[in-house]
């Protein structure tokens, strides 16, 4: 019987990779002098204290919030180790401000802007479902354009290369091969459980869910979409987890747009970047 390996998730950071396993999280960063520095911490989730948070939908919301917090912490750590900024310990207030800023930016760009703009491009559409569909496609177009623009930045391209390294190494691990750059480089930079695919599924789920609400006034639309974001995220989390381990044709079709989008958010890494991803992965499966 084929061994079932624990699911490993990750994130590309500045000159490094973060990997999160069932029990621990590790971040590996390549410093200017070529040294790989490794930081490992035990996982502590609020769902361990409050078991009801492990219920479907709720666990997705909790996981998303915790990953955003960890993402902010690891980005700060990687920037320090890579020499981009001076060492500084993030306080709870710093994390809260950064998290609130990220959420506010996402809400303005991907919630408020599309629902306002759809008014100017769909004057002849009266059906609520078609209006929601137009809004959803506009949201997706804004997101794809945003990714395409930031991918032109040199530093972001480097992060996308580490993103590709993360995926290749996880593929190598899941296929039971020795974790070496030679083995990892033959795998794809695209992975079904990627955060990029998750965001795309969020957008698809939001089209279906928001269409049920009809097409109220603009204020009601904005408020309802913000309030329902946790529900959309929770449903999308369950779908992306299923897509990562299921051969269902429906889930494969649902995940296909996100897999396509990963062609923008990942780049082919070099051996040195694969070495960094391997160091982080080995730390969480050790």
Instruction: Tell how strand 9-13 and strand 16-20 pair up.
Output: antiparallel
Residue 136 has pLDDT above 50, yes or no: yes
In a domain, 2, yes or no: no
pLDDT at residue 125, rounded to an integer: 78
Closest CA to 284 of 11, 80, 30: 11
In a domain, 28, yes or no: yes
Burial class of residue 232 (count of CB atoms within 10 Å of its CB; 0-12, 13-18, 19+): buried
| Gap between the Cα atoms of 57 and 62, Å rounded | 9
pLDDT at residue 9, rounded to an integer: 87
In a domain, 125, yes or no: yes
| Gap between the Cα atoms of 45 and 24, Å rounded | 11
Residue pLDDT, tens place only, 9-37? 899 999 999 999 989 999 999 998 999 99
In a domain, 36, yes or no: yes
Residue 224 has pLDDT above 80, yes or no: yes
pLDDT at residue 1, rounded to an integer: 43
- Check residues 149 and 244 and name the one with the higher pLDDT: 149
The total number of structural domains that make up the chain:
1
pLDDT at residue 87, rounded to an integer: 62
What are the b/e assignments for 146-170, b being 16+ CB within 10 Å?
A: ebeeeeeeeebebbbbbbbbbbbbb
> 286 with 224: CB under 8 angstroms?
no
Question: What is the rounded average pLDDT of the residues 27-52?
Answer: 91
pLDDT at residue 102, rounded to an integer: 86
- Whose tokens are 């959309």? That residue is 232
Residue 5 has pLDDT above 80, yes or no: no
Q: Give every CB contact of residue 63 below 8 A, 6+ residues apart in sequence.
A: 237
> 199 with 111: CB under 8 angstroms?
no
In a domain, 3, yes or no: no
Q: Mean pLDDT score of the chain, rounded to an integer?
A: 89
In a domain, 156, yes or no: yes
In a domain, 115, yes or no: yes
> 53 with 47: CB under 8 angstroms?
yes
> Phi, psi at residue 231, to the nearest 5°?
-65, -45
Residue pLDDT, tens place only, 193-205? 898 889 999 999 9
Other Cβ atoms closer than 10 A to 199: 20
Residue 266 has pLDDT above 60, yes or no: yes
Domain that holds residue 258: 9-285
pTM for the full predicted model: 0.87
- Whose tokens are 């060492």? That residue is 87
Other Cβ atoms closer than 10 A to 92: 8
In a domain, 38, yes or no: yes
- Give, for 211, the enclosing helix (H) or strand (E): helix 195-212
How does residue 245 score in pLDDT terms, banded at 50, 70 and 90?
Answer: confident
């Amino acid at each position: 019987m084929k061994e079932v390996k624990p699911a490993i998730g990750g994130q590309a950071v500045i000159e490094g990779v973060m990997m999160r396993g069932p029990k621990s999280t590790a971040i590996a960063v390549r410093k200017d002098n070529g040294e790989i520095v490794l930081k490992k911490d035990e996982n502590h989730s609020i769902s361990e204290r409050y078991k009801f948070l492990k219920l479907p939908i709720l666990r997705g919301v909790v996981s998303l919030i915790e990953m955003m917090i960890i993402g902010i912490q690891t980005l700060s750590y990687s920037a320090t180790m890579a020499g981009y900024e001076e060492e500084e310990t993030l306080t709870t207030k710093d994390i809260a401000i950064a998290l609130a800023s990220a959420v506010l930016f996402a809400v303005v760009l991907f919630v408020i802007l599309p629902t306002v703009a759809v008014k100017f491009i769909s004057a002849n559409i009266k059906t609520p479902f078609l209006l929601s569909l137009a809004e959803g496609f506009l949201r997706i177009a804004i997101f794809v354009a945003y990714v395409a623009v930031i991918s032109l930045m040199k530093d972001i391209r480097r992060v996308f290369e580490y993103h590709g390294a993360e995926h290749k190494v996880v593929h190598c691990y899941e296929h039971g091969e020795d974790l070496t750059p030679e083995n990892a480089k033959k795998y794809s930079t695209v992975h079904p459980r990627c955060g990029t695919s998750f965001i795309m599924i969020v957008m698809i789920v939001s089209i279906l869910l928001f269409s049920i609400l009809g097409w109220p006034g603009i204020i009601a639309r904005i408020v309802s979409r913000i309030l329902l974001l946790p529900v959309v995220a929770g449903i999308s989390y369950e779908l992306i987890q299923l897509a990562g381990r299921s051969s269902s044709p429906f889930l494969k079709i649902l995940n296909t747009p996100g897999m396509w989008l990963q062609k923008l958010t990942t780049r082919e890494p070099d051996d040195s970047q694969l070495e960094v991803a391997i160091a982080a992965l080995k730390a969480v499966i050790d």
